[in-house]
Structure 1
Amino acid sequence: MNAFLPLARSTTYSPAWFVPFDDYARRVRTVGVEIQLDRFEDGGWLPLDNRAVRTPSAAMAFPGLGRRSEPRTALPERHRARFAAPGYQPLYPADGEPFSAALTGVEFLVYPYDDTHPPAETTVPRLVRLLPSVSFPYPPGLRTVHGVVLDASTRTPIANALVEARGQANYDDPTPWHERTLSDATGAFRLALRWAGEKAGEDAVEETFRLQASERPGRTGELVVQLPQDTERPHVIEIREQ
Structure 2
Amino acid sequence: MTAFMPLARSTLYSPLWLVPFDDHARRVHTAGVEARLDRFDEVDGRWLPLDDRAVRTPSGVIAYPGLGRRAEPWAARPERHRVRLAAAGCRPLYPADGEPFSAGLAGVEFLVHPWNDDHPPAVEATPRLVRMLPATAYPYPPGARTVHGVVLDATTGAPVVNALVEARGRTSQDLTPWHERTLSDARGAFRLSLRWEGERASEHAVEETFRIEATERPGRTGSLAVHLPQDAERQHVIEIREQ
Which category of TM-score, normalised to the shorter sequence, fits these structures?
Answer: over 0.9
CA distance in 2, matches of 1:22, 1:63: 24
Matches within 5 A, 1:7-46: 9-10=10-11, 12-41=12-41, 42-46=44-48
What is the aligned-residue identity percentage?
70
Correspondence 1:181 to 2:182: yes
Name stretches of at least 5 consecutive residues in structure 1 with no aligned partner.
none
CA distance in 2, matches of 1:125, 1:24: 20
Matches within 5 A, 1:78-227: 78-169=80-171, 171-227=172-228
CA-CA distance at 1:233 after TM superposition: 0.5
Secondary structure of the residue that 1:156 maps to in structure 2? coil
Count of paired positions: 237
Give the TM-score taking structure 2 as reference length: 0.94
The answer to whether the Cα contact below 8 Å between 2:6 and 2:59 also exists between their aligned partners in 1 is no
Secondary structure of the residue that 2:74 maps to in structure 1? helix
The answer to whether the Cα contact below 8 Å between 2:151 and 2:237 also exists between their aligned partners in 1 is yes
CA distance in 1, matches of 2:203, 2:176: 15
Counterpart of 1:61 in structure 2 is 63
CA-CA distance at 1:31 after TM superposition: 1.0
Give the TM-score taking structure 1 as reference length: 0.95
CA-CA distance at 1:2 after TM superposition: 7.3
Secondary structure of the residue that 1:72 maps to in structure 2? helix
CA distance in 2, matches of 1:143, 1:31: 25
CA-CA distance at 1:57 after TM superposition: 2.9
CA-CA distance at 1:122 after TM superposition: 1.1
CA-CA distance at 1:20 after TM superposition: 0.7
CA distance in 2, matches of 1:103, 1:148: 20
The answer to whether the Cα contact below 8 Å between 1:19 and 1:125 also exists between their aligned partners in 2 is yes
The answer to whether the Cα contact below 8 Å between 1:159 and 1:185 also exists between their aligned partners in 2 is yes
- For 1:93, the aligned partner's letter is P
Q: Residue 193 and residue 69 in structure 1: after superposition, are their counterparts in 2 closer, same or farther (change >3 A)?
A: same
CA distance in 2, matches of 1:226, 1:130: 27
The answer to whether the Cα contact below 8 Å between 1:165 and 1:211 also exists between their aligned partners in 2 is yes
Q: Deviations over 1:196-217 (max 9, x none)?
A: 1100112111000000000000
CA distance in 2, matches of 1:227, 1:159: 26
Of 55-64 and 206-215, the range deviating more from structure 2: 55-64
CA distance in 2, matches of 1:61, 1:121: 15
CA distance in 1, matches of 2:192, 2:8: 41
Q: Residue 4 and residue 203 in structure 1: after superposition, are their counterparts in 2 closer, same or farther (change >3 A)?
A: closer
Q: Deviations over 1:107-165 (max 9, x none)?
A: 00101111100111111111100000011121222111000001111111100000000
The answer to whether the Cα contact below 8 Å between 1:21 and 1:128 also exists between their aligned partners in 2 is yes
CA-CA distance at 1:64 after TM superposition: 0.4
Correspondence 1:236 to 2:233: no
CA distance in 2, matches of 1:98, 1:19: 20
The answer to whether the Cα contact below 8 Å between 1:67 and 1:113 also exists between their aligned partners in 2 is yes
